[in-house]
Amino acid sequence: MKIAVIGSTHAGTAAVKNMAELYPEAEITVYERNDNVSFLSCGLALYVGGVVNDPQGLFYSSPEALQELGVTMKMQHDVENIDTEEQTIEATNLVTGEKVYDAYDKLVMTTGSWPVTPPIEGIDLENVLLAKNYNQANTIIERAKHAEKVTVVGGGYIGVELVEAFEKAGKEVTLIDGADRILNKYLDPEFTDMVEEDFRNRGITLALNETVKRFEGIDGQVKRVLTNEGTHDADLVIMCVGFRPNTDLLKGKVDMLENGAIKVDAYMKTSDENIYAAGDCCAVKYNPTGGHAYIPLATNAVRMGTLVARNIVRPTIQYVGTQGTSGLHIYDLNMASTGLTETSASMMDVHVKSVTIEDTHRPAFMPTAEQVKMKVSYDPDSRRILGAQVISQADVTQSINTMSVCIQTGMTIDELGFVDFFFQPHFNQPWNFINQAGLSAAQ
């Protein structure tokens, strides 16, 4: 069996490692544009901020390691065409310019995503940068050495992490977002208010409700960001306004969502019998609504990549879907969320009720005890739990992984009150705050 894999970061690397082990007789060829595999973008802000000093730690595999598994690695090869009828692909060797043609029995599409770059005047100026891969991380570090005023456009988790990194490095930082608050896709206002207050207290300028209209520069270098509300001086701009799936190669050839995310079945198979897909190039099954959603996360990518390997020969293990569970550490605050927030529920026209618990994470008799805020949202009719958010200076973020399981298994808010959780004064209260959330929703 000839398997061609396009893209080898998280989904691709997971698929390749597992396929090489499961099917030693298969002829696996990987096409990857970059000169590296498995870059952990999640460490990008820590690398830029100098918390991670050795960039080698940001890779967990290498072309050589995959080659040792018997895989043919075509690094710095850009796949330019896929003929799904003939089952062939066409690529260019980016080093020599040579054209490469190949045929496949099964194709694994793990081409991921690319940062959205809106058609804003001046976006091509020097020092307007993107933050996704290893080369871009190095460019940001290099350019930041000579920058004093840094503007981050986009207040999602990547933008917010970069804001912290630049502020800690002593830069004058502005965060621009068209929405009225940061992190609005992950957390409700009572949570994001805390992060915004912290940012403002540290001298970070929050330019919310502002849309970038133009970048202006001198001698080709960015100097100003003009928005609908005003002007922000900047000698470095990082664009973090979201991601779009990299799926042009299969446009019109397999079923996709409107944004181009490939639809796969529970076995990661696309609408083409011989093409499997995983990771950021795909839509995922979103359990809180039961529909398809685009949630580009490394966690989804490694799970889906592993499932491709398990299912590519015969359907074996089904994907259980996702709640879009994610966590974040910003300065002294630890936060995490899973499933729907009230904001995202209302954007999706889903009616939810919510309960909020505020308590200390462990008994007050302990030498220290931090405040915890947890909110749980549920369907008022079926009473099924649909989402949860938590924030605290204590690291109680694992509670959100517990809530993710509750959503996935269809637990009701009433059952949540009586789930068996341990108590030990170092860690929590006799009534765990998760139980308390369930109890306080009692009818």
Ligand X SMILES: Cc1cc2nc3c(=O)[nH]c(=O)nc-3n(C[C@H](O)[C@H](O)[C@H](O)COP(=O)(O)OP(=O)(O)OC[C@H]3O[C@@H](n4cnc5c(N)ncnc54)[C@H](O)[C@@H]3O)c2cc1C
Residues that bind ligand X (CB under 6 A): 6-7, 9-12, 31-34, 41-42, 44, 78-79, 110-113, 131-132, 158, 246, 249, 279-280, 296-299, 301
| Spatial separation of the C-alpha atoms in residues 190 and 418, rounded to whole Å | 27
- Find the shortest distance in angstroms from Cβ 331 to ligand X: 16
Closest CB to ligand X among residues 34, 393: 34
- Find the shortest distance in angstroms from Cβ 112 to ligand X: 2
φ, ψ dihedrals at 435, nearest 5°: -60, -45
- Find the shortest distance in angstroms from Cβ 287 to ligand X: 17
| Spatial separation of the C-alpha atoms in residues 54 and 47, rounded to whole Å | 8
Place of tokens 């300065």: 331
Taking a C-beta distance cutoff of 8 angstroms, is the pair 298, 10 a contact? yes
Closest CB to ligand X among residues 242, 380: 242
Taking a C-beta distance cutoff of 8 angstroms, is the pair 371, 396 a contact? no
Closest CB to ligand X among residues 113, 341: 113
Taking a C-beta distance cutoff of 8 angstroms, is the pair 355, 437 a contact? yes
| Spatial separation of the C-alpha atoms in residues 102 and 38, rounded to whole Å | 24
Taking a C-beta distance cutoff of 8 angstroms, is the pair 315, 350 a contact? no
| Spatial separation of the C-alpha atoms in residues 270 and 370, rounded to whole Å | 47
Closest CB to ligand X among residues 108, 222: 108
Closest CB to ligand X among residues 96, 424: 96
Kindly state the tokens that stand for 240. Answer: 């973090």
- Find the shortest distance in angstroms from Cβ 48 to ligand X: 9
Chain residue whose CB lies nearest ligand X: 112
Which secondary structure element, helix H or strand E, spans residue 18, and what is its range? helix 10-22
φ, ψ dihedrals at 16, nearest 5°: -65, -50
- Find the shortest distance in angstroms from Cβ 67 to ligand X: 16
Taking a C-beta distance cutoff of 8 angstroms, is the pair 216, 224 a contact? yes
Question: Catalytic: 426?
Answer: no
Closest CB to ligand X among residues 33, 224: 33
Question: Catalytic: 329?
Answer: no
- Find the shortest distance in angstroms from Cβ 138 to ligand X: 13
| Spatial separation of the C-alpha atoms in residues 200 and 218, rounded to whole Å | 29
Place of tokens 């970048």: 215
Taking a C-beta distance cutoff of 8 angstroms, is the pair 130, 153 a contact? no
Catalytic positions: 10, 42
